[in-house]
């Protein structure tokens, strides 16, 4: 079995790391370059950077940030936020990103997934899906979770795979920031239905939640923010705990 990955996520707004609950009530969590360096040193498997307030005008700012992070870390990192073209991806990869994450732009223009895969390869294209339950259905949302769509999670995830994406980053908006655990039932269905890796996001509050999402949710990787940013869980202690619970990890 492949080693499970632990991925700190840095949500970036105006050049700072922030964290909220259910996608709102943001608070400052530190300098992203400093945090990235710490996580790389502490044994994170990868990093994810999401510019949650990205606009076209900020693309240069994000590229500069990517370059500064790339100088400090020796693990793969994924960058997302406001990416809507082959050119956007080219800039970020040239500045040191290893993968890119697209979300709203993929829903609005699914062909973008195909275009990016054709140009850069599946291995560096991650599609992020933010969804929440409405009347018992998982509904995909856009623009940082603010705008509901007519897309349903499992159907959209299957299309994303068919279009060639290398991974899916699934965030449960219902679980985000609550620290009540990941949406393992939905994660398990995604992992069962699809043949590409699924990254679990939204809800990590303690070490047991990570074990649960790898076993019950069948996730390939687990992403978290506040429990790492505010030093509630150390990455090495988490990995040791996972190993003790029979989860394969890189120590």
pLDDT, one tens digit per residue, over 196-222 is 999 999 999 999 999 999 999 999 999
Q: Is 11 a catalytic residue?
A: yes
State the catalytic residue, choosing from 11, 45, 212, 241. Answer: 11
Give every CB contact of residue 164 below 8 A, 6+ residues apart in sequence.
113, 114, 117, 118, 122, 125
Tell me which of 59-68, 70-79, 205-214 is least confident.
59-68
Most confident of 3-17, 19-33, 133-147, 152-166: 152-166
In this structure, CATH architecture of domain 5-244: Alpha-Beta Barrel (3.20)
Where along the chain do its domains lie? 5-244
Residue-level pLDDT at 23: 43
State the catalytic residue, choosing from 45, 130, 176, 241. Answer: 130
Q: Is 174 a catalytic residue?
A: no
Instruction: For residue 86, name the pLDDT band (cuts at 50, 70, 90).
Output: very high
Residue 20 has pLDDT above 70, yes or no: no
Residue-level pLDDT at 13: 75
Residue-level pLDDT at 26: 55
Dist. CA 233–CA 160, nearest whole Å: 33
Residue-level pLDDT at 176: 84
CB 249 within 8 A of CB 6: yes
């Amino acid at each position: 079995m492949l080693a499970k990955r632990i991925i700190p996520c840095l949500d970036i707004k105006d050049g700072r790391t922030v964290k909220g609950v259910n996608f709102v009530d943001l608070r400052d969590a530190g300098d992203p370059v400093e945090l990235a360096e710490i996580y790389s040193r502490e044994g994170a498997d990868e990093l994810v950077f999401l510019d949650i307030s990205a606009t076209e005008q900020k693309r240069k700012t994000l590229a500069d940030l990517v370059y500064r992070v790339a100088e400090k870390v020796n693990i793969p990192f994924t960058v997302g936020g406001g990416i809507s073209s082959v050119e956007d991806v080219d800039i970020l990869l040239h500045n040191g990103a290893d993968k890119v994450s697209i979300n709203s732009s993929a829903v609005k223009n699914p062909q973008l997934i195909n275009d990016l895969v054709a140009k850069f390869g599946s291995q560096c294209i991650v599609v992020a899906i933010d969804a929440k339950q409405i009347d018992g259905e998982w509904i995909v949302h856009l623009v940082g979770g603010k705008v509901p769509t007519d897309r349903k999670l499992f159907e959209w995830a299957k299309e994303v795979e068919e279009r060639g994406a290398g991974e899916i980053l699934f965030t449960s908006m219902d679980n985000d920031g609550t620290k009540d655990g990941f949406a393992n039932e939905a994660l398990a269905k995604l992992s069962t239905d699809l043949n590409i890796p699924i990254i679990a996001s939204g809800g990590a509050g303690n070490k047991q939640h990570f074990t649960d999402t790898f076993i019950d949710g069948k996730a390939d990787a687990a992403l978290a923010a506040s429990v790492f940013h505010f030093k509630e869980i150390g990455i090495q202690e988490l990995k040791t705990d996972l190993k003790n619970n029979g989860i394969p990890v890189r120590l």
